[in-house]
Structure 1
Amino acid sequence: MRSVRALGAALANHAPDCATSRAFVAPAACSVPRRAWLARAAATFVLASLAPYAHALTGTTASPDPDALSPQQSAAFRAWFVRIVDQQMRRGPTPRWTQRDCAGLVRFAVGETLKSHDTRWLRANGMTSLADTGSMPPELQLSASQRTLANRWTQLDGSTGAYASAIALIQRNSRFVSKDVNQALPGDLLFFDQGDDQHLMIWLDRYIAYHTGTVTPTDPGLRAVAVSDLMQWKDSRWQPLDGNPNFVGVFRLDFLTP
């Protein structure tokens, strides 16, 4: 399996191409909500500059979530989330990750982060070597209800469940941070809108990770790229710059503090 460095080098021949999950979302799930969503987007970014915690891409602020993680819990969550995504990049996707696209990578990593990372979990995820166990983040101390957050994503229609498309993760489960990637924290999401397709990337601080949405016998679809390289991407639609209309911005999962 290719290393992060090798995956980064492979980016030269692969433009990000993961849309909202094709296997689980009907086409109307993107097109119908998008019209109302895009109409609100410009006004929302103005509001966001005045109210940084406004709910993502809406004009209102969501009610406080009683299961929201504290600052200390959020820091531990970010550390585990980054570790789990990085593990997929370095060693290849675990068979336990079945819904393989850009949003699926986010959902999988969130679900695994919220689990108890005991000996059984470490063994199942190939993290039993001394190098792994010697650098583990502090364990997340969560309530039973907090551990079920990954099964309670809000859908575009307001229902909840274990699945959420890329646009649902952003529109209903995250809040806008900035169009300046310097404001991103590890575990934040970069969201791109290419018209009929939407795409997520994950900010890991040292690099950006994403899944292309396509898997072949020789290519797991995982990509790693330095932010400096993405800033100069030959296809400017994927550059995370304020002046790029396809780059919607940096978003943060709603249950994290800050």
Structure 2
Amino acid sequence: MTGRRQPSRRGFLAAAGALLLGTAPPLRALMPAAPGRAADIGPRLDAGQSRAFRAWVVRIAEAQIRRGPTPRWTHRDCAGLVRFAVAEALAGHDLRWRRAMGMDGRLPPDTVPDALRAELRHRWKRPDGSTGAYVNAIGLVQENSRFVGRDLRLARPADLLFFDQGDAQHLMLWTGQRIVYHNGAEPRPGDDGLRAAAPRELLQWTDTRWRPDAANPNFAGVFALAFLT
């Protein structure tokens, strides 16, 4: 990957062993029941609101890659990047917010009404039926997303790529041009855990578990947030 390291293997060794031993849960158990089915989480954005929201998510995630993680983002892992980008896309984007986020230049339009923002922000559905600001990677996919397919060409900006490594799962975010993610590792000098890659780079990656390709059994597919049209 140009200027970026490979996805971290930290935390996946046990999962790889489970896959080899055949003890890992099957991919189909981790996916929604049928392609296209949206999780039942309440209100949905219309087409115009969805386009603007997707643009905000991409802009916020790309800003983390370009400038490094903002102090406003505290829970830094793969699912944390998605939750943060979604929460900030649904925030009020006034001057104070823009200064705090270091966001300037031309920004996407704000088309989501304030009441709808408040209804959706920090309201992730969890497997136990509760809602809140935190949900893990598998909960994001199972409870808050709909399955699009296993062809990367079906992905739209702000869609999720979900990888199942057995005992551990991993999310990446499609921006429309490249794939961005946090590798889940603890930060260290010179490495904030954030990565970005063009699709062709991951499709040629020597560690085939990370290829967003239907031929890869570890790639569960592309998922769209359920409240998007």
TM-score (norm 1): 0.78
Amino acid at match of 1:218: G
Does residue 1:9 correspond to 2:3, yes or no? yes
Which residue in 2 is equivalent to 1:176? Answer: 147
Which residue in 1 is equivalent to 2:126? Answer: 155
CA-based RMSD = 2.2
SS at match of 1:192: strand
Which residue in 2 is equivalent to 1:27? Answer: none
Amino acid at match of 2:72: R
Deviations 1:181-226 (A, max 9, x none): 0000000000000011100000001110000111113211000000
- Distance in 2 (CA, whole Å) between partners of 1:80 and 1:165 is 22
Q: Is the 8 A contact 2:91 2:117 kept in 1?
A: no
SS at match of 2:163: strand
- Distance in 2 (CA, whole Å) between partners of 1:42 and 1:186 is 20
Deviation at 1:18, TM superposition (A): 7.4
Amino acid at match of 1:88: Q
For structure 2, the 5+ residue unaligned runs are: 13-23
Deviations 1:91-146 (A, max 9, x none): 00000100000000000000000011111111111124xxx2xx211123324243
Amino acid at match of 1:9: G
Does residue 1:80 correspond to 2:52, yes or no? no
The aligned length equals 217
Which residue in 2 is equivalent to 1:118? Answer: 94
- Distance in 1 (CA, whole Å) between partners of 2:10 and 2:140 is 14
SS at match of 1:217: coil
Does residue 1:164 correspond to 2:135, yes or no? yes
Which residue in 2 is equivalent to 1:247? Answer: 219
Instruction: List, as ranges, runs of 4+ consecutive aligned residues in structure 1 with deviation greater than 2 Å.
Output: 7-11, 14-20, 37-44, 62-65, 145-148
Q: Is the 8 A contact 2:32 2:146 kept in 1?
A: no
SS at match of 2:224: strand
Selected match of 1:221 from 165, 181, 193: 193
- Distance in 2 (CA, whole Å) between partners of 1:184 and 1:236 is 20
Amino acid at match of 1:220: D
Q: Is the 8 A contact 2:41 2:144 kept in 1?
A: no
Q: How many percent of aligned residue pairs carry the same amino acid?
A: 52
SS at match of 2:115: coil
SS at match of 1:243: coil
- Distance in 2 (CA, whole Å) between partners of 1:164 and 1:195 is 19
Deviation at 1:243, TM superposition (A): 1.0
TM-score (norm 2): 0.87
Amino acid at match of 1:239: R
- Distance in 1 (CA, whole Å) between partners of 2:216 and 2:128 is 29
Amino acid at match of 2:120: L
User: Residues 170 and 17 of structure 1: is their aligned pair in 2 closer, same or farther, counting only changes over 3 Å?
Assistant: farther
Q: Is the 8 A contact 1:18 1:198 kept in 2?
A: no
- Distance in 2 (CA, whole Å) between partners of 1:230 and 1:89 is 17
Deviation at 1:42, TM superposition (A): 8.2
- Distance in 1 (CA, whole Å) between partners of 2:159 and 2:135 is 16
- Distance in 2 (CA, whole Å) between partners of 1:199 and 1:111 is 19
- Distance in 1 (CA, whole Å) between partners of 2:48 and 2:94 is 20
Give the number of the structure whose residues are more often helix, by fraction.
Answer: 1
For structure 1, the 5+ residue unaligned runs are: 1-6, 21-33, 56-61
